[in-house]
Amino acid sequence: MATDQSSRMFVQQIHQRADARYQSRRSKSLHSLNPGESLASSLMGIPCLAISAIVLAVTFLAILGPIELWTYRHEVLKEKLSQGIQYRVDPETRSLPSGPVMVVERVIHLPATRCRVLALIGTAVGGAGLALGWRKGRLAWLSALGVASIAVAMLVNLARGL
């Protein structure tokens, strides 16, 4: 009976080790995306990251030139003091106010309404992913990266428009 008890303990230890190894491999495969991401926040973070890639691409390609349907032409005006004063008729007051002559200094292409709406949708989806991650006490990195890159793209557009 002594050998029967010791062999039973030996087999039980082998089963415990195998089970522990299986559980560790299983937990690694379940958390292969990111330890901070839950499935719900990942489902929000991946589209947010994809949308932010589109917005960033449109922003930086618009620096090089126009992109059909995604950008619009914006003229940056500058005062030209050497040409004197220009009179304009104000239709509301029917007066003739004067002002400096404005000339086009440069033409830039900024993201159109379609791109800005896409950026707002991406920010909303990323915010939902952040909220889902925050609910579990984690930071949803995919959503945070998507929202941050959309913010960078919009700040670049804001700086270019000034």
Which residue do the tokens 């220009």 mark?
Answer: 86
State residue 88's pLDDT score. Answer: 72
State residue 124's pLDDT score. Answer: 95
Which residue from 62, 81, 82 is spatially nearest to 72, judged by alpha carbons? Answer: 62
Whole-number Å distance between alpha carbons of 44 and 54: 16
At residue 73, the 3 state secondary structure works out as strand
Sign of the Cα torsion 32, 35, 36, 38 reads positive
Low-confidence spans in the chain with pLDDT less than 70: 1-3, 26-36, 83-84, 162
State residue 31's pLDDT score. Answer: 53
